[in-house]
Amino acid sequence: MSKKGLIGNIRTFIKKLIRRKKPLQSDEVELSLPGLTIRMKRKLNIKDPHEVTVVVPRAEFRKKLDKNSDAVEYEIILNSITVVHAPRHPPERPAS
């Protein structure tokens, strides 16, 4: 094999190697609320599309102050916070 052919084979091999490591899909979510941080990072090498959903149905932050406007009490209510990474499915019935 010539030197030129060998270099071409090495380049092809390296390109295929690099191509395999690059994910087809990647998702990253960071949700930061007082007292809570949720991070999700996904890299997938599959062709089926996936979707990320973040649901925060209830987040309440209360601060009670005294007469001097100094903080006396903090209240944080976080309820049913959800982060979902799921495959996307086609609809069961065609849209009418």
CA distance 31 to 36: 8
CA 86 to chain centre: 11
Name residue, tokens 């007292």.
35
Yes or no: say if 27 and 41 are a contact pair by the CB < 8 Å rule.
Answer: yes
Whether the full predicted model's pTM is greater than 0.85, yes or no, is no
Q: Which residues of the chain have pLDDT under 70?
A: 1, 3-4, 17-23, 90-91, 94-96
CA distance 76 to 61: 5
Whole-number pLDDT of residue 91: 67
